[in-house]
Amino acid sequence: MKISTGKVKSAQKLVLYAPEGFGKSTFASQFPDPIYIDTEGSTKQLDVQRFDDDMSKWDNIITAAAYVAGGSTDRKTLVIDTIDWAEAAVINKLNEEYHTRNILTLDYGHGSLLVQAEVKKLFDKLDECIAKGINVVLLAHAAMRKLELPEEMGAFDHWEMKLQSKQVKAMVKEWADILLFGNFKTYVITDEKTKSKKAQGGKRVLYTEHHACWDAKNRHGLEAEIPFEYKSIAHLFSGTEKVPEKVPEKVPEKKTATKKKEKPAEEPAAEAVPFPSPLSELLRLMEESKVTEDQVLVTFHAKGKFPDAKKLTDITDMAFIEKSVIGNWDSFRKAVERYGKEVPFIAD
């Protein structure tokens, strides 16, 4: 047997999921020489190579993947846009074959196994592409669901791929070398005069590491959060594993003022918070319910929580905020309305 050492260069297996309209298809068009299996018709406005056959049909999807794996094209990246629509094509095919309305509802999980077996055929072809040095990019829509853990209090929102079969979802996550979650970053705006806070939408970012609120991973030492730009991961597809170094910000030189100028009006300060963030989500709920920061703090103090906190940013126990406050918001809001009275919104 032969034994080797060091890094082994290989084509990349990347999965990107994000909300609808995030720009996934356009982002994937920047990968090296892509060819699309467009299952949902989302590339009509892009100048890219695509298969002209009806890619909403499962048999056509398999044939297209086999075409690329067989070396019949000089493309360097195969993009499936999207894998959740491809899964729907599998389900539609099996529904017709087994004369059922939803194959996934068959007894004893038999339908799920049938779907998994069909999807495995596609992944066999994708692995052949990887073996030939062709990158594979799977795009998927993101869906949010309420996640409740038996050992924890309350519930929280969790982003995941919009796949119907748990087995297929697990297969996609295990297959990928790079699993990226894309979302908008929320900015919390603080008014310096009133000290009120307001959450606003911000720039698009990619998350590369697992979080309680989303699934993500990478094997290349990427930072936990990177800009939604292809150059953030371009080095992974150029044959080098070196992560681009951060360019330090230049500190402007101090200039001696020759004339005293009037102090300009202060603009609201912006503080970036990753979305979904317990604090930014709390601020959103407060704004919707017309609850002030002082009311929240007084309620906390009445319950013996965070007695030294003079503002919300003094609170560091985000797990408590997420599970006991956001997860039980209706009860907490009632406590705010009549703070000072005993309202059992917190289970110690």
Does residue 343 belong to any structural domain of this protein? no
Residues 29 and 127 in one domain: yes
Tell me the C-alpha distance between 58 and 122, whole Å.
Answer: 9
- Residue 266 · residue 195 · CB < 8 Å: no
Residue 58 sits in a domain of what CATH number?
3.40.50.300
pLDDT in tens, 268-295: 544 444 444 677 777 878 887 888 888 8
Cβ count within 10 A of residue 133? 10
Structure tokens at 20: 């609808």
Does residue 210 belong to any structural domain of this protein? yes
**Is 256 a residue whose pLDDT tops 90?**
no
Does residue 232 belong to any structural domain of this protein? yes
Q: What is the average pLDDT across 308-322?
A: 78
CA distances from 202 to 24, 114, 165, 284 (A): 17, 42, 32, 14
Structure tokens at 31: 């990968």
Residues 178 and 302 in one domain: no
Number of domains in the chain: 2
Does residue 348 belong to any structural domain of this protein? no
Tell me the C-alpha distance between 279 and 285, whole Å.
Answer: 10
Cα dihedral sign for 328, 329, 330, 332? positive
Task: Report the amino acid identity of residue 218.
Answer: N
b/e string for 2-18 if b means 16 or more Cβ within 10 A? eeeeeeeeebbbbbbbb
pLDDT, greater one: 17 or 317: 17
Residues 156 and 43 in one domain: yes
Q: Beta strand 197-207 with 77-81: parallel, antiparallel or unpaired?
A: unpaired
* Lowest-confidence region among 78-82, 104-108, 123-127, 291-295: 291-295
pLDDT in tens, 31-69: 999 999 999 999 999 999 999 999 999 999 999 999 999
Residues 140 and 231 in one domain: yes
Tell me the C-alpha distance between 208 and 215, whole Å.
Answer: 9
**Is 89 a residue whose pLDDT tops 70?**
yes
pLDDT in tens, 161-195: 999 999 999 999 999 999 999 998 876 666 677 76
Tell me the C-alpha distance between 186 and 183, whole Å.
Answer: 9
Structure tokens at 348: 């110690």
Residues 217 and 107 in one domain: yes
Residues 281 and 169 in one domain: no
Residues 217 and 298 in one domain: no
> How would you classify residue 18: left for phi > 0, otherwise alpha for psi between -120 and 50, otherwise beta?
beta
Range(s) of the domain holding residue 61: 13-182+204-237
Length of the chain (residues): 348
Q: Beta strand 225-227 with 77-81: parallel, antiparallel or unpaired?
A: unpaired
Residues 172 and 316 in one domain: no
Residues 208 and 332 in one domain: no
Give the pLDDT score at 108: 83
Does residue 140 belong to any structural domain of this protein? yes
Tell me the C-alpha distance between 152 and 192, whole Å.
Answer: 37
Tell me the C-alpha distance between 346 and 348, whole Å.
Answer: 6
CA-wise closest residue to 111 among 95, 130, 133, 129: 95
Structure tokens at 223: 């930072």
Does residue 70 belong to any structural domain of this protein? yes
Does residue 296 belong to any structural domain of this protein? yes
Global model pTM greater than 0.85: no
Which residues lie across from 143 on neighbouring strands? 160
Residues 38 and 151 in one domain: yes
CA distances from 237 to 11, 14, 73, 183, 300 (A): 8, 11, 19, 23, 50
Structure tokens at 124: 């066999």
Residues 23 and 97 in one domain: yes
Residues 223 and 298 in one domain: no
CA-wise closest residue to 15 among 213, 162, 235: 162
Cis preceding linkage at 276, omega within 30? yes
Does residue 266 belong to any structural domain of this protein? no
DSSP 8-state symbol, 217: B
CA distances from 157 to 237, 251, 297 (A): 33, 40, 24
**Is 23 a residue whose pLDDT tops 60?**
yes
